[in-house]
Amino acid sequence: KAGVTQTPRYLIKTRGQQVTLSCSPISGHRSVSWYQQTPGQGLQFLFEYFSETQRNKGNFPGRFSGRQFSNSRSEMNVSTLELGDSALYLCASSPGTLMNTEAFFGQGTRLTVV
The stretch among 10-18, 19-27, 40-48, 79-87 that binds another protein (CB under 8 A) is 40-48
Please report whether residue 2 would count as binding another protein according to CB under 8 A: no
DSSP, residue by residue, the chain: ----EEE-SEEEE-TT--EEEEEEPPTT--EEEEEEEETTTEEEEEEEEETTEEEEE-S--TTEEEEE-TTS-EEEEE-S--GGG-EEEEEEEESS-SSSS--EE---EEEEE-
Residue 48 binds to another protein (criterion: CB under 8 A): yes
- Which parts of 56-95 interact with another protein (CB under 8 A)? 56, 58, 90, 92
Binding-site ranges for another protein (CB under 8 A) = 3-4, 33, 35, 41-45, 48, 56, 58, 90, 92, 97-108
